[in-house]
Amino acid sequence: MSSHHPVIRALSAALLCVAAGRAAGQDGAAPKEPEKALTEAVQSETAATRRVLFECPKGALLTVEFLNSEPGRPAVVRPASGEAVTLQAQESGSGFRYGDGTRELRSKGREVTWTDASGRPVVCTEQMPTPLGTEPN
């Protein structure tokens, strides 16, 4: 695993916080237990991941996990059929664009266009979350 992996970054940040807290020890606050510091760091790192469902033709679903809210971070696209693929952010005039030279995901408003390795684009619409206590139509 590279040092750019989110869990590695979170672990490093947690260990630094614990070490700094123990070294300072003069702020009057008790240092956090290492396990708690690690858990909080991992939660904050993974909290930036956002999963969005898109409905495509014939009722197929396309799931996209945006791995971090920071610009330039990759997204994982999980088509209804086929393997999940991690795509890097690409320059886009508006909306977003991810691709790897073979596959591409572009957005415009609540719609995305998913182009897989076959080269056939499919337009899908973001599913809006159902409020709690209501049934979907």
- Work out the pLDDT band at 82, boundaries 50, 70, 90: confident
The answer as to whether 132 is a domain residue is no
How many structural domains are present in the chain? Answer: 2
- The structure tokens 């760091």 sit at 41
Closest CA to 117 of 88, 79, 90, 91: 79
pLDDT score, position 72: 78
> Residue 59's CB: how many other CB atoms inside 10 A?
7
Q: Are residues 42 and 56 in the same domain?
A: no
- What global pTM score does this model have? 0.60
Q: What is the CATH number of the domain that holds 62?
A: 2.40.128
Q: Are residues 87 and 109 in the same domain?
A: yes
The answer as to whether 78 is a domain residue is yes
Q: Are residues 63 and 43 in the same domain?
A: no
Q: Are residues 112 and 61 in the same domain?
A: yes
The answer as to whether 21 is a domain residue is yes
Task: State the DSSP code for 96.
Answer: -
Q: Are residues 40 and 57 in the same domain?
A: no
The answer as to whether 43 is a domain residue is yes
Query: What pLDDT, in 10s, does the model give residues 95-136?
Result: 899 999 999 999 999 999 999 999 999 999 999 876 666 555
Q: Are residues 63 and 96 in the same domain?
A: yes
Among positive and negative, which fits the CA dihedral 28, 8, 35, 70?
positive
Closest CA to 85 of 95, 100, 96, 70: 100
Query: What pLDDT, in 10s, does the model give residues 27-58?
Result: 445 555 555 555 554 445 545 788 999 999 99
Structure tokens that stand for 102 in this block: 């073979």
Residue range of the domain that includes 42:
6-47
